[in-house]
Structures are given as structure tokens and as C-alpha cells.
Structure 1
Amino acid sequence: MKITIDIDCTAQEARSFLGLPDVAPMQEALMEEIQQRMRKALQASEPETLLKTWLPASLQGWEELQKNFWNQMAAAATGGGGKGGKSGKSGE
């Protein structure tokens, strides 16, 4: 014998029937507090500071990589070369 019971009730009705606490007011208060903290943090932070905080250290080295790239390009354009060329043996 198999018996099936369908209960049609809201989540709030089910919680109160089972004796569970109503946590909706607490969730709303916590969400409001989180929103206020995020607004304060965003207003106090500058975009550059946020990017440095969010990006990992390996990506923060892009500025130096770009500088090195442009220095090498400038040296190649002027014919200086600097580090390029032969393997360091003299007289070849």
C-alpha cells in the first residue's frame, strides 16, 4: 500500500508548522549592512587602488613589462640594439 500526501503551503507556513525560526528579518538586516559597507568602501576607494587589490601580483607587473618592451623597441628603432646581436664572443 502506498499513500501520497500533497501539501500546498508557502515556505513561511511550512517553517512555522515545523517550528523553524523566521530568519527573513535577520537576512534583510544583514544584506542592508553588507550593502552599506560596500557603498562606503567603493566611495572611499580609487579605481587604481581597487585594481591593485583585485589583480594578483603577477598581473601587476604588466606596467614594468610594457616599459621593458617599449625600451627595447626604442633601442631597436635607433639602431642601438643594446642586448641583441652576437653571443658575447669578441672578434667574431
Structure 2
Amino acid sequence: MKVNVEIECTPEEARRAMGLPDLTPIHERYTQLMLETMESGIAPEMMESMMRNWAPMGEAGVTFWRRLFETAQR
């Protein structure tokens, strides 16, 4: 037997139904800090450090981002 159930709800409603925390204030603060940093000028060392933190595969991720930025500058 196969049963399909469709639930129409917003992401906010789904989050609350599953009991997940509301991370909106944290996300907004993080975005604000990123914008302030970018507007004040970002040093290449800061960018590399940030990419290392984002990189899911460590050095391979950093290499990917480095190539991406080098290609974009040409």
C-alpha cells in the first residue's frame, strides 16, 4: 500500500512543526557583519581564512576558491 500526504506550509511553519530553533537573528547578525567587513575593505589574508572556514573538504576547497578568484580576475 502506498500513501502520499501533501502538506502545504511555509518554511517557518515547517520549522516550528519539527521543533527546530529560529536562527533568523543569528543569520541577520552574521550577514550584517559580513557586509560591514566587505564594505570596509577586505584583505586577501582575511579572504583566505574565511574560505578555509567555509571549505568542506579542507585544502581542496581552498584550492577551488583560489582558482575561481584567479579565473575571475583575468
**Structure-2-length-normalised TM-score:** 0.53
Which entry has the higher C-alpha Rg, 1 or 2?
A: 1
Q: Which runs of 5+ in 2 are unaligned?
A: 44-68
* % same residue: 33
Aligned equivalents of 1:25, 1:8: Cα separation in 2: 25
Whose helix fraction is larger, Structure 1's or Structure 2's? 2
Cα deviation digits, residues 18-45 of structure 1 (max 9, x gap): 0101112211110011101111126xx8
Taking only aligned residues, the RMSD between alpha carbons, in angstroms, comes to 2.8
Higher relative contact order by CA 8 Å / sep ≥ 6: 1 or 2? 2
Match of 2:6 in 1: 6
Q: Which runs of 5+ in 1 are unaligned?
A: 46-54, 57-92
Aligned residue pairs, count: 47
Q: How many angstroms does 1:9 deviate by?
A: 0.3
